[in-house]
Structure 1
Amino acid sequence: MSSDQVHAGNLTVTLRDAVRAPADAAKARLAEDGAAARLAARDATLWGPEAEAEAAVRLGWVDLPRTSRALLPELDRLVAEKRAAGLDHVVLAGMGGSSLAPEVITATRGAELTTLDTTDPQQVGRAIADRLATTVLVVSSKSGGTVETDSHRRAYEQAFTDAGIDPAERIVVVTDPGSPLAELAAERGYRTVLADPEVGGRYSALTAFGLVPSALAGVDVASLLDEADALVPSLSADSGNPALELGAALGGFTGHDKVVLAGATPVGLGDWIEQLVAESTGKSGRGLLPVVVEAAAAPGFTPAPDTHLVAFAESGTPQVELADTLVSGPLGAQFLAWEYATAVAGRLLGIDPFNQPNVQESKDNTKALLERAGDGPLPAGTPLLVDGAIEVYSADVALLEGAKDVGDVLTTLLRAVPEAGYLAVMAYLDRVGDAAAADLRPVLAARTPRPVTFGWGPRFLHSTGQYHKGGPQNGVFLQITGDVVADLPVPDRPYTFGRLQMAQALGDLGALSDRGRPAVRLHLRDRAAGLARLRQALEQLEA
């Protein structure tokens, strides 16, 4: 299998034969429009008149390798202050773009960071109970009104106060200028670092959102900017531009709209790319579906006519036998290259890569459910069947007609996936305590030729949730919820974390059902027993 490489700075993109010709054709179209130079110059007209207003205030990421250096002295002072106070346990409360990049940065650089991007009361409670005496909490929200992050802040404020600790000594806020969170932080004396308001959340890896928690955790964030800056000189060129090459491969490989992401390093990069690509392109009934797999030769991965396998690595050429596209380079360069490539793919796909028109819908559904229910039970419905510790629910009763157990339910869902479709597993559970839920993805993938994605709820609502509702109508959805053993109140709010989590699950399921997407909810009355039964039922299905 032959291949061609494009290298600049510290990044190499390699395209195999299958994608070479369509990528070259896409690059020719981009060159005719001067797209590379226009993007590097922050030309907001690249994505058409309907996207221009949004793009005009969302292109600050292009210059971040240099503009973010202004933050470094402030970060040095902040880190020194917190270290002098003996605060060495860093907790990040943030969702989507506010949490995914710092998680990748710290994991790749070998630093410890506790990420709270969940409403599961067991996971939140465990974090609060861990080393509170030496904890510094980073509250990170671009809008300043993210319900999950607001709930985390409230819970930690209460915990600090109960322990005789002044929250102002422990809380660092990262937000946009003028946000409600910025105003609250000023009132309460919280240390605040303001981010660039002209950078959207999913493009914010090299802003304060990515750098503040990473620096507090002990990462040399200046090196990230150096790695990204090495790529900058190539970004305005029509040739010798690996980021343009990647964008042409993503957006120009017509008919290959399932992008399978494989790679062990940088650690967790696939999850960050997933949000960037899904939320940027999944709209107007089209888009690219990222599918993060466990390894380059993940169990159950079968190349399909609509699948584009992309492998990534920090250095050297990742050896992936089936990969169509290979991206090699350090983390800072990867961040900038993927952001650039996603913007280029948006141009080729004819969509606005900076808006997220369907993200708000599930949030509105959650709020409405909580308000309508008041103090009463949430409208969870009546189970269609019960199999041991698992209750089965679906708004589409006909979908599961004749199903007698969980094995029948899974068989029905797998058969419901259309020829060009995919299966999404959405687990509203404890990402740590219920980690076995993620192991279901490769087992399911081994039993269908179609792609299978996995997301932790509500985290994925800020990621693939946009694609599920705004992208092509070819998804089938398996939602997993679970009983809460020890709930946790959200201070000064009329709901607990467990109630909020269930309302988010039901709200999102309602949004999918309203669109006619086949969807089933499995509720685990006992989480460990339910996951074990689910795994057993899966293994009994024929591969």
Structure 2
Amino acid sequence: MAEHPGDVAVTLLDQRLAEEAKPLVAGLVTDQVASKLTAQDPTLWGQEAESEAAIRLSWTTLHDSSRPLLAEIDALRAELRAEGVDRVVLAGMGGSSLAPEVITGTAGVPLVVLDTTDPGQVADALAGELSRTVIVVSSKSGSTVETDSHRRIFEKAFTDEGIDAASRIVVVTDPGSPLEESSVAAGYRRVFQADPHVGGRYSALTAFGLVPAGLAGADVAGLLDEAAAAAQKLSVDSPDNPGLVLGAALAAAHARGAEKVVLADTGSAVKGFGDWAEQLVAESTGKNGTGLLPVVVDGPDAAGFHDAGSDATAVAIGPAAGAARIATEGSLGGLVLLWEYATAVAGRLLGINPFDQPDVEAAKKAARALLDSTGDEQADEPALVDGPIEVHASEGLLPEGTTTVAAAVHALLSAAPEHGYVSVQAYLDRLDDASAVLLRTEVARKSGLQTTFGWGPRFLHSTGQYHKGGHQNGVFLQVTGAVEQDLEVPDRPYTLGVLQQAQALGDGQVLVEHGRPVLRLHFTDRAAGLAHLVAALAEVHG
């Protein structure tokens, strides 16, 4: 067990798994993997991965190298507060939003996170007190379409309110990115350069995690202290190194067919850690037809955790509980570094490069192509309409004569192979349509399959890589909804609603090209559609 705030611990509760992991850990110790990883040795993942690894390993020492940021963040926060600006909105996707959300959630300080293209959710953020608002625009590449849209919308809103927009925009990006250049030219309040030698999903302790969280009031200095304490264990070549033990256990489980990792918080006091770990593990390992699929559930009694089968490993974030086979404990800073080390180690044992994401761009390209088309060309005729739901299905999925949503969902679940998985993808408002998360539990119960849930397009920057590059045994349930009030994107030829639809259709198109079954349910009325779908799921035969 973790003994002090900076400590981390991994407990293997499954004796068979512990025995299978032991020789893997011994090999890692012999090969000095922990110390080489800390020293940023890019050769650990083979020759093909070396060039990418060489520019992606600075995360191992961020607990030291990020410290100069602390005074800058504190000074900017004090400036803003003195001006009456104390509401922080974050526009970011993937690693740029997930880590700050966990940090502020755990600290109990407010942060408005925009990692969506849903017009309603963005409108709600705009409806806050703009006179008290600063927006942090975070993008590693500097060209993220969602984040660029948010920046344009907020810049216009500030201006329309008679507020100097440049004074309310803070930017976090890689040095030399298009966003850095345009932000400096526009005179934005502050442009923070993030460490370019850290990938997005490993960036929790860079400016991407620290700036928005620190401006919101989280103790980011304490976070670095926690990571520094954990690093003392994680950098040592020892069979007791928790990073080696966790990485080896996940790889050993995968070798016996448990390619899914079910994550449940069991009293860790860390809020939303599973969502952050989901991106780290899925995007790092899901490629070349292999990988670990994280399944985030709401507790140890949830479907998929308490009844995890031979294809899944139940992992507790916090003390051992329920059917957990592995328990990981520690402070937030310690857990972040633990899972980063373990994921890099698992990548080595799985024979993949944990620092690239070769399949992410495909969905982005498909969405861009649809944005360039007309709205009529984007839309396709539904296969059937059942009340407030239009049903769209990949070719050959629905049996002839299918007339109901229940029958369509049954056809999708029946298309999943043994030990496959179901991915529920909701392109809706994460706040107003929050009850959609209940779909994961219901689908898991009905199907008996491991079931993930993701808000679109947020998951495209997370599990989206695994869906195309990992084990090809998933079936996909997309949920989209009518837009009541759309939002224009200034100086762009599309609205947020059009962008949201293009992202859903584009990703579905790529999944179909990979031979995966896709069922899209479009709610012509969101509240009525969700109620109708829940009722339909009750009729689905397991």
TM over 0.5: yes
1:7 offset after TM fit, Å?
7.5
Q: How many residues align?
A: 533
Deviation at 1:73, TM superposition (A): 1.1
CA distance in 1, matches of 2:341, 2:539: 44
CA distance in 1 between counterparts of 2:69 and 2:178 reads 22
The equivalent residue for 1:252 is 252
Q: Aligned partners of 2:227 and 2:66: how far apart in 1? A: 11
- State the match for 2:355 in structure 1: 354
Query: Per-residue CA shift, 1:237-261, capped at 9, x if unaligned?
Result: 2222112111111122222110000
Matched, 1:89 2:58: no
Q: 1:303 aligns with which of 296, 308, 311?
A: 308
The residue number in structure 2 matching 1:312 is 317
Contact 2:262 2:304 in 1 (8 A): no
Match of 2:339 in 1: 338
Q: 1:6–1:241: 8 Å Cα contact kept in structure 2?
A: no
Which residue number corresponds to residue 296 of structure 2?
A: 292
Q: Aligned equivalents of 1:89 and 1:398: distance in 2? A: 47
Query: Is the CA contact 2:104–2:216 (under 8 Å) kept in the aligned structure 1?
Result: yes
Letter in structure 1 aligned against 2:532: R
Contact 1:6 1:14 in 2 (8 A): no
Partners in 1 of 2:404 and 2:77 — Cα distance?
54
Say yes or no: does 1:480 pair with 2:482. Answer: no
C-alpha distance in 1 between matches for 2:251 and 2:65: 28
Aligned partner of 1:270 in structure 2 is: 274
Determine the C-alpha separation between the residues in 2 that align with 1:529 and 1:419.
33
Q: Bigger CA drift: 223-232 or 412-421?
A: 412-421
Cα distance between partner residues in 2 of 1:398 and 1:195: 45
Indicate whether 1:104 and 2:108 are aligned.
no
Return the offset for 1:134: 0.5
Q: Is the 8 A contact 1:429 1:482 kept in 2?
A: yes
Report the Cα distance in structure 1 between the residues aligned to 2:409 and 2:232, rounded to whole angstroms.
51
Q: Deviation per CA, 1:454-475, whole angstroms, max 9, x where unpaired?
A: 0000000000000001111100
> How do 1:365-444 and structure 2 match up within 5 A?
365-373=366-374, 376-444=375-443
Structure 1's 12 and 494: CA in aligned 2 closer, same or farther, altered over 3 A? same
Give the secondary-structure state (helix, strand or coil) at the position aligned to 2:67: helix
Q: Residues of 1 paired with 2:408 and 2:449: CA distance?
A: 17
Alignment partner for residue 12 of structure 1, among 9, 14, 18?
A: 9
1:362–1:258 distance in 2 versus 1, CA, 3 Å? same
Contact 1:11–1:334 under 8 Å retained in 2: yes
Q: Which amino acid aligns with 1:483?
A: A
Instruction: Give the aligned partner of residue 143 of structure 1.
Output: 141
Structure 2 equivalent of residue 176 of structure 1: 174
Cα displacement string for residues 465-490 of structure 1 (whole angstroms, at most 9, x for unaligned residues): 00001111100000011110000000
Structure 2 CA distance for aligned equivalents of residues 185 and 448 of structure 1: 49
Partner of 2:84: helix, strand, or coil? Answer: coil
SS of the aligned residue for 1:26 comes to helix
In the TM superposition, what is the alpha-carbon distance from 1:399 to its structure 2 partner?
3.5
Q: Equivalents in 1 of 2:50, 2:501: separation in Å?
A: 38
After superposition, what is the alpha-carbon deviation per residue over 1:322-365, rounded to whole angstroms, capped at 9, x for unaligned? 11100010100001110111000000000000000011111100
CA deviation after TM superposition for structure 1 residue 34, in Å = 1.9
Mean Cα displacement is larger for which, 516-525 or 415-424? 415-424
CA contact 2:2–2:329 (8 Å) conserved in 1? no
Q: Deviations over 1:175-211 (max 9, x none)?
A: 0100001001100111111110000000000000000
Q: What TM-score, normalized by structure 2, do the two folds share?
A: 0.96
CA distance in 1, matches of 2:219, 2:304: 38
What is the rounded CA distance, in whole Å, between the counterparts of 1:436 and 1:401 in structure 2? 32
Deviations 1:367-425, CA, capped at 9 Å, x for gaps: 1111132xx42422111111100000013144343322011111112222111210000
Residue 120 (structure 2) pairs with residue 122 (structure 1) = yes
User: How far apart in 2 are the matches of 1:160 and 1:293?
Assistant: 38
Separation of aligned partners in 1, 2:342 and 2:282 = 13
Distance 2:239 2:29 in 1: 9
Taking the aligned partners of 2:519 and 2:399, their CA distance within structure 1 comes to 9
Report the CA distance between 1:92 and its aligned residue: 0.2
Letter in 2 for 1:12: A
Distance 1:212 1:45, change over 3 A: same
Q: Is the 8 A contact 1:38 1:236 kept in 2?
A: no
Distance 2:401 2:324 in 1: 41
Give distance in 2, aligned partners of 1:449 and 1:481: 24
For the 8 Å contact 1:384–1:392, the answer to whether it is kept is: yes
Alignment deviations for residues 45-81 of structure 1 (CA, whole Å, 9 cap, x no partner): 0000000000000000000011111111111111111
- Contact 2:33-2:237 at 8 Å conserved across structures: no
1:196-275 equivalences in 2 (<5 Å): 196-234=195-233, 235-253=235-253, 254=255, 255-263=257-265, 265-275=269-279
What is the rounded CA distance, in whole Å, between the counterparts of 1:84 and 1:312 in structure 2?
39
2-structure distance, mates of 1:511, 1:368 = 12
Q: CA deviation at 1:6?
A: 8.6
CA distance in 2, matches of 1:116, 1:139: 10
Task: Structure 1 unaligned segments of length 5 or more: list them.
Answer: none
Tell me what 1:65 maps to.
Answer: 63
Segments of structure 2 that go 5 or more residues without pairing to the other structure are none
Q: Given the alignment, which residue of 270, 281, 284 partners 1:280? A: 284
More deviation, 267-276/301-310: 301-310
The CA deviation at 1:152 is 0.1
Shift of residue 542, structure 1, vs aligned partner: 4.5
- The percentage of aligned residue pairs carrying the same residue is 58
Aligned-residue offset at 1:126: 1.0
Q: Which moved more, 1:43-52 or 1:397-406?
A: 397-406
Q: Which amino acid aligns with 1:296?
A: P
Shift of 1:300: 5.4
Query: TM-score when scaled to structure 1?
Result: 0.96
Residue 186 (structure 2) aligns with: 188
In 1, are the aligned partners of 2:55 and 2:198 still within 8 Å (CA)? yes
State the one-letter code of the partner of 1:395. Answer: S
Cα separation, 1, equivalents of 2:462 and 2:501: 19
Query: What amino acid is aligned across from residue 43 of structure 2 in structure 1?
Result: T
Of 196-205 and 318-327, deviating more is: 318-327
**8 Å Cα contact 2:304-2:449 kept in structure 1:** no
Give the whole-Å Cα distance in 1 for the aligned partners of 2:3 and 2:18.
15
Structure 1 residue 308, shift from structure 2 partner: 0.5
CA contact (8 A) 1:304 1:449 kept: no
Counterpart pick for 1:49 among 44, 47, 50 = 47
Task: Sort the Cα spacing of 1:400 and 1:89 in 2 relative to 1 into closer, same or farther, 3 A.
Answer: farther
